[in-house]
Amino acid sequence: MSNQFYQRLTKQSVALVESEKNLVANLANISALLNMELEDINWVGFYLMDGEELVLGPFQGKPACVRIPLGKGVCGTAAAKNQVQRVYDVHEFEGHIACDAASNSEIVIPFSINGNMMGVLDIDSPNIGRFSEEDQIGLTNLMVEVEKLLNSHAIKA
């Protein structure tokens, strides 16, 4: 995906959330937009912090794992480290949690509200190596812009 593609996707995401204050509604629309626009993915959605674990939030795709402990799997690792995880082949990621056996690569982007870890954006693909550095930069920038709006709304989950 090109830089131009991600700039357009970021503008669309910002337009979806800029006038709405409800976190669940905003994350639901972003997951729907990403599902509609991204190619070769089979799951996209959010996990939200709940104590020492992540709990399933708005998503598009097959039913998913509901609770993920911090530090476990790709999502739990991203949240615990507050660091993007881009996994070429999930079967080689130690401790990978297989919610859908069809998923072969994954990218997880943590996000915060008012300085507090709020959750992660999780995107899975059936293709090994689906997510490039360009995807990581584009999706991270998209979440940075969305995070700014969520912070300005002072949203409570």
Per-residue pLDDT of 80-123, as tens digits, reads: 999 999 999 998 887 777 777 789 999 999 999 888 999 999 99
CATH superfamily label, 3-153: GAF domain (3.30.450.40)
Cα–Cα distances in Å, from 57 out to 25, 66, 130, 133? Answer: 10, 8, 23, 26
Listed residue (134, 120, 106) closest to 27, CA to CA: 120
Backbone region of residue 40 per phi and psi (left: phi > 0; alpha: psi in -120 to 50; beta: other values)? left
Q: What is the CA radius of gyration of the chain?
A: 14
Q: pTM here? A: 0.93
Per-residue pLDDT of 131-155, as tens digits, reads: 999 999 999 999 999 999 888 875 4
